[in-house]
Structure 1
Amino acid sequence: MKRILVVSGLSGAGKSTVARVLEDIGFFCIDNLPPALLNDFMVLLSSSSIDKVALVVDIRSAQLGNAVQAIKKLVDNYSNIVTVLFLEASDEELLKRFATTRRRHPLEGQLSLKEAISKEKELLGDMKEMSVVIDTTGLDIHTLREKIGSLLKEEAQFVIRIRSFGFKYGLPADTDFIIDTRFLPNPYYDRKLAQLNGTDQEIVNFFSKYPIVEDFIQYTYKLLHIAATRYKSEGRPFMTVSIGCTGGRHRSVYVAEKLSKILKDRFYVYVEHRDVNK
């Protein structure tokens, strides 16, 4: 039987994150399908081999037509296969997320950010009423993944989160492993490289000159592979690895990226760089 999940909610509440989680558990995700095309889409879906579809509908979709009525009609006509999720978070959490990511709210312009959040709640109020509501305030990606998996009765995939950080900004609180890379060659002392970060090709070229860097990555991979295999077999949902250098810009970022690429052959890996822009 086919399954359709509509993902809606407030901007900054985690719709993109949920879409990635759904892709990981086999959903075909479509972002902002115009409401007027829903009927045509359902006809195409009925004759396709795709069983699980997620439609992301947000304030941009609502402004393309009457998205609320279109989704309500979809629910009424296909109630046995359609579920609507509505993601929300507290105003304080949304303000913090927009400040952290420096993204603009879709309704910002003549409205302040606070006013835009309030207006969006008003516009999507009817959508929320027909939905299963998930409050993402204070949730990290792992907890959110478990919540979605539990809701959909899907097996939540084991996740390795790799985080780069700078020791001078403090140790991460939530971690299973801390890997120190401060003994590796430091490109910071090269003026041409100082303002780059570990994802830039010039930094990759710099580290490629030092065999010790690749040796360290391979030994660390073996350690993490053993640990992750055991964690997964014991039923743990995730493992967090924090990789640090002095400022969290060069060595830790480079090593985090390299390890993630190797580990992705066997595990789902999520990478974040905590201090790369500081």
Structure 2
Amino acid sequence: MQLILISGQSGSGKSIALRALEDSGFYCVDNLPATMLSEAMALYQDYGFEHIGISVDVRSSPSLGALPHEMRKLREQGVDVRLLFLEAQDDTLVKRFSETRRRHPLAGNGLLTINECILAEKDMLASIQELGARFDTTDLVPNSLRSWVKDLVSADSSRLTLVLQSFGFKHGVPLDLDFAFDVRCLPNPYYVPELRPLTGCDQPVIDYFQQEPAVAEMTEDIHRIIARWLPCFSQESRSYLTVAIGCTGGQHRSVYIAEQLAQRFSDQQVIIRHRQLQHAE
């Protein structure tokens, strides 16, 4: 059996992620206390369900502390358990609650402001956010979140997945990263008029970078660092390692280098994310 747990901050897109699982053929349950996971999985097994998606969050806060133990117990029983943890920048969460006019689950009788609720929720979730793959949904449109969830779910859980993510510094540094590399020192196609509207995936931009020795050197240096330490992370039984490559706008340099690194790690299980390009999809 396969169990995908969805958790994270309120307003970060957990409902969208759960629906993405449902669209992929998962039987999904929203807001199940962690202490009921083993009992629920035994029941689903009797019903013949093989792929289950369950959200566990602060709406069932008294049971959150039991989540690590429940995950270990299910794994010992042979269940493929993975946790997807969604989060976003505070100002983005405030804006989302303001736009939807929904109450935060911790608002209670209204004594706490949205900002106070967000801070309290962070504290409550701190012990579980490192249990699985983290998703920073700050600049993510729903279609991209759905796509990213499906990519991770389809990955082989017995192997470490290398996530290569491009981003633009002017849009903020992603929350969901293990390593970050700054490539803003490299030549920028943005200042070449005919290349400005293109991306690091387009052939004219690729040709431009291939003529720049510094770009090849930077790419090789980053590859060498990741390749050197990747086995250590694999030995720690890590499921995911996220490497973020950042340039100014997240359109040319970071995209190109992320794609080049993916080619160099072709023998590894790789997922590529282009954070800023998803707005054009």
Match status 1:76 vs 2:72: yes
CA distance in 1, matches of 2:60, 2:49: 23
Structure whose alpha-carbon radius of gyration is higher: 1
* TM-score using structure 2 length: 0.51
CA distance in 2, matches of 1:95, 1:9: 15
The aligned amino acid for 1:81 is D
How far 1:74 sits from its partner (Å)?
2.2
Q: Secondary structure at the match of 2:128?
A: helix
Tell me the alpha carbon deviations over residues 111-165 of structure 1, each in whole angstroms, 9 at most, x when there is no partner. Answer: 11101100000011111121211111111111112211211127xxxxxxxxxxx
- The residue aligned with 2:16 is 17
Note if contact 2:28-2:53 (Cα within 8 Å) is conserved in structure 1: yes
The aligned amino acid for 1:37 is M
- Cα gap change, 1:36 to 1:78, in 2 (>3 Å): closer
- The residue aligned with 1:142 is 143
How far 1:3 sits from its partner (Å)?
0.3
The aligned amino acid for 1:34 is P
Q: Percent sequence identity over matched residues?
A: 38
- The residue aligned with 1:127 is 128
Q: Secondary structure at the match of 2:96?
A: helix
Note if contact 2:34-2:70 (Cα within 8 Å) is conserved in structure 1: no
- The residue aligned with 1:110 is 111
Q: Give the aligned CA root-mean-square deviation in angstroms.
A: 2.0
Q: Superposition pairs for residues 24-173 of structure 1, below 5 Å? A: 24-62=23-61, 65-69=62-66, 71-79=67-75, 81-108=80-107, 109-153=110-154
The aligned amino acid for 1:141 is P
- The residue aligned with 1:224 is none
Segments of 5+ residues of structure 1 without an aligned counterpart are 155-237, 241-278
Note if contact 2:38-2:74 (Cα within 8 Å) is conserved in structure 1: no
Q: Secondary structure at the match of 1:26?
A: coil
Note if contact 1:74-1:82 (Cα within 8 Å) is conserved in structure 2: no
Note if contact 1:4-1:81 (Cα within 8 Å) is conserved in structure 2: yes
- The residue aligned with 1:169 is none
- The residue aligned with 1:161 is none
How far 1:73 sits from its partner (Å)?
1.7
Segments of 5+ residues of structure 2 without an aligned counterpart are 156-277
Q: Secondary structure at the match of 2:105?
A: coil
Note if contact 1:11-1:105 (Cα within 8 Å) is conserved in structure 2: yes
How far 1:58 sits from its partner (Å)?
1.3
* TM-score using structure 1 length: 0.52
Residues matched between the structures, number = 153
Note if contact 1:35-1:66 (Cα within 8 Å) is conserved in structure 2: yes
CA distance in 2, matches of 1:19, 1:105: 19
The aligned amino acid for 1:126 is S
Tell me the alpha carbon deviations over residues 30-69 of structure 1, each in whole angstroms, 9 at most, x when there is no partner. Answer: 011233322321221232211110111111111xx32231
The aligned amino acid for 1:88 is E
